[in-house]
Amino acid sequence: MAFDAIFQPIEIGKLTIRNRVVSTAHAEVHATDGGMTTDRYVKYYEEKAKGGCGLAICGGSSVVSIDSPQGWWSSVNLSTDRIIPHFQNLADAVHKHGGKIMIQITHMGRRSRWDGYDWSTLLSPSGIREPVHRSTCKTIEEEEIWRIIGDFAQAARRAKEGGLDGVELSAVHQHLIDQFWSPRVNKREDQWGGSFENRMRFGMEVLKAVRAEVGDDFVVGMRICGDEFHPDGLSHEDMKQIAAYYDATGMLDFFGVIGSGCDTHNTLANVIPNMSYPPEPFLHLAAGIKEVVSVPVIHAQNIKDPNQAQRILEGGYVDLVGMTRAHIADPHIIAKIKMGQIDQIKQCVGANYCIDRQYQGLDVLCIQNAATSREYMGLPHIIEKSEGPKRKVVVVGGGPGGMEAARVAAERGHDVTLFEAAEALGGQITIAAQAPQRDQIAGITRWYQLELVRLGVDLRLGTRADEATLLDLRPDIVVLATGGQPFLSQYPEWGYSETPEESLVVSTWDVLSGKVAPGKNVLIYDAICEFSGVSAADFLADKGAKVEIVTDDIKPGAAVGGTTFPTYYRSLYEKEVIMTSDLMLHKVYREGDGLVAVLENEYTGALEERVVDQVVVENGVRPDEALYYALKEQSRNKGQLDLEALYAIQPQPCLSEERAEAGDGFLLFRLGDCTAPRNTHAAIYDALRICKDF
């Protein structure tokens, strides 16, 4: 049987898990009402259970104590009995579909923020500052240690009383337990620091207290890291020793293993490996832990594909695979494996939109699946066929917004035609995928390509739609997702011209798409600081150019998320790309064979010049509105959206308006960058919420 290793049930403690796939603990940033798991939270996990996930460990970094702030990341609050009925709802929703659910519990120690909510004083073994959150803390006192140990036990009791199947003690990501473990942070000389046993003591007391509270018939596991990757931190051998030490107590039912510590920006990037990493980059660390423990080991990190999961499980490296982002991208992944619909799985591409939002305290969303974590609003993962009239839907633009619009309309059962001027689908994704380390972003397009063909959408590639072609099809609905063009004309001094030979600047699109050849000595001016600028820099440097990337913002790549800018920086520094901030591109002029870029310091107004042979400007996108205005007046709804309906995920009222006869006039919607430049998720979200009621 294909994928039999995945579908082999396993016992964790006294609990039977129906398969080997886990959605591991991650911060959802969904727990509202003071850290309660309300409707959104429950529906998010119910969808995973419905989709076949064996075990979900929810609530990454759910706090056990009042002085471990939860508000910053809307994490779950187990410091109060008020959580118990909410857990009951959560447990029922997951159990109803045969899934199991546990929660990660922790005290985050120094790894948090103090400057808000209760203005807590953060704690850590030796009061050493944590750099990622820029957080200072006090040295924890004996009384506080024992209080927190008690808090862990009470939190575990609440999880059990709420009907959850277990708890995972977080001793990973530099939370309080592993802050005690790591000599890098724990400099104590009392019974809580120094020797191995002393450094282990806090975690051991937590484990004993928790086990004593919940008894034997409740799962208690522990998540640890496989190697902190710091010379002064815990090595893999240290971690094996620690794992074996706790395992020997017989009080733990499983281990979760994450490769890499995460108390610096650079190690944090390892923890949730983005698309630049190879598959399962840290499996060997988890396998090392498995060698020394007697209970099941769970490992997540860049396991996205069922074949990969099968191979890992078959090889016996670990007992369960975490496919957490894989579930964020497609909560029905298991069901699709079982139905033999492997090609229909929306596979995580490692864009890390989810986790990068989380680190900003924003709710976790998927770059390519707008229904994820919006289940409570009624946004569907499986689009049902419409019971209403079959419509002729014409979509213009094969970027993410257009592809989603075509997919959703086709799933509704309509007759869909999609025009794309380029020879292939993808829009800006195709350009983005040209950069080194970014090729996997094209996975978004690949899925849509497969789905659109499967759904029988009439794909007119290499065809630029004009008003006449569109109206010839007698559409009932026209969806415009025509995107836009690089906005190089904002400042005439930049010397941009639509005639390539006369233009003094080129765009990052020109460079990445290969439309212009890479220069040898290049200045990139990046006013946006998102992916395009650093991608172009990485691309040009990769082609051998000397590159300086300049921005008037804080730093090049400043708006790229926390798990991805480090991998850019690794590459850019290695290729000796110069990153300069606080300079604006004032003017470009030609001098001899070269170009002179005049840069102005944001803060002093001082000018400086660079003599280069190519100036690349990243200044965002200017919407392409021509077709919209050509069609707007003829459309029945004048191109307008009913925002109240849109935001309430209700059908657009114009869809149900009576018409004199079928084919009499059309509705016009536009979405994505042709309205205003936003991002992939925004385009896909608009496409889904508008088209789901077609």
Shortest Å distance, C-beta 330 to other proteins = 10
Closer residue to other proteins in complex, CB, 326/536: 326
Phi, psi of 454 (to 5 degrees): -60, -40
Give which of 82, 222, 208 is closest to 166, Cα–Cα: 222
Closer residue to other proteins in complex, CB, 334/505: 334
Closer residue to other proteins in complex, CB, 279/388: 388
Shortest Å distance, C-beta 18 to other proteins = 4
Q: Mapping DSSP to helix (H, G, I), strand (E, B) and coil, where does residue 343 land?
A: helix
Residue 130 carries which DSSP code? B
The residues binding other proteins (CB under 8 A) are 1-4, 7-9, 16-19, 50-52, 97-99, 332, 334-336, 338-340, 382, 384-385, 387
Helix (H) or strand (E) holding 432: helix 428-432
Shortest Å distance, C-beta 686 to other proteins = 25
How far apart are the C-alpha atoms of 689 and 380, rounded to whole Å? 9
Closer residue to other proteins in complex, CB, 115/384: 384
Closer residue to other proteins in complex, CB, 286/383: 383
* Neighbouring residues of 676: CB distance < 8 A, sequence distance ≥ 6: 623
**C-alpha distances out from residue 384 to 378, 412, 485, 693, Å:** 12, 6, 35, 10
Closer residue to other proteins in complex, CB, 328/465: 328
- Contact yes or no for 481/674 (Cβ under 8 A): yes
Q: How far apart are the first and last CA of the chain?
A: 39
Angle between helical axes of 196-214 and 142-161 (0-180°, round to 10): 30
Shortest Å distance, C-beta 671 to other proteins = 26
- In this structure, what token pair is assigned to residue 616? 């690349």
Radius of gyration of the chain (CA): 27
Angle between helical axes of 83-95 and 142-161 (0-180°, round to 10): 50
Shortest Å distance, C-beta 678 to other proteins = 31
Shortest Å distance, C-beta 162 to other proteins = 20
How far apart are the C-alpha atoms of 284 and 318, rounded to whole Å? 9
Residue 676 carries which DSSP code? S
CA angle 247, 251, 170 (to 5 degrees): 75
* Neighbouring residues of 45: CB distance < 8 A, sequence distance ≥ 6: 23, 56, 58, 90, 93, 94, 99, 101
Closer residue to other proteins in complex, CB, 10/251: 10
Closer residue to other proteins in complex, CB, 315/340: 340
Closer residue to other proteins in complex, CB, 97/555: 97
Shortest Å distance, C-beta 130 to other proteins = 41
Which position has the token pair 């922790």?
A: 106
Shortest Å distance, C-beta 174 to other proteins = 35
Closer residue to other proteins in complex, CB, 18/265: 18
How far apart are the C-alpha atoms of 631 and 623, rounded to whole Å? 16
Shortest Å distance, C-beta 675 to other proteins = 32
Shortest Å distance, C-beta 694 to other proteins = 16
